[in-house]
Amino acid sequence: MRARLTAAGTLAVAVLLAGAGALLVWRLHTGMLADLDTRAVQSALAVETAAHGPGGPTVPPRPGQSLVAQVLDGSGRVVASSDDVHGEPRIFRSAAPAPGAAPVLWTDHADPLGGSAYRVAALTTTAQPHYRIYVGLPLGAC
């Protein structure tokens, strides 16, 4: 009888610990993903500000941050990009939102980038000419 109670108690504690561990991992993952989303949107907004600068569309460098950014014109041609993908064709294929709409976020496994997972923020500039901006940050450990 004592062995059965010990086994049942041990099993109950193990199930509770496994559930708590899974909940903790899920919560950490969603928190890290939310942080990545915030950084992707901030980077896209910085690129939007630079898109209508005096030298034409540019992607400002983001020291200490690995990102993939491209600025596309109305015909879908890449007119500016981050150093990592300079000279590459369009990488992210999803549609950008309408001008002035909130940035769109999604996870993409970009084939030109070796199939690595990126969290992508896309937006369309409000000023004319409208540029579509795509910024991807590697998911890494998320």
C-alpha distances (whole Å) from 84 to each of 36, 55, 81 are: 19, 20, 8
Q: What is the pLDDT of residue 139?
A: 86
pTM of the prediction?
0.82
Q: What is the DSSP letter of 85?
A: G
Q: Residue 29: in which H helix or E strand, if any?
A: helix 2-51
Largest alpha-carbon pair distance within the chain?
Answer: 82
Q: What is the pLDDT of residue 38?
A: 94
The residue to which tokens 């890449």 are assigned:
78
Helix (H, G, I), strand (E, B) or coil at 8: helix
**Residue 138, preceding peptide bond in cis (omega within 30° of 0):** no
Q: Which one, of 62, 25, 42, 34, lies nearest residue 139 by Cα?
A: 34
Q: What is the pLDDT of residue 35?
A: 92
What structural domains does the chain harbor? Answer: 2-138 (3.30.450)
Which segments of the chain have a pLDDT < 50? none
Q: What is the pLDDT of residue 97?
A: 92
Q: What is the pLDDT of residue 64?
A: 65
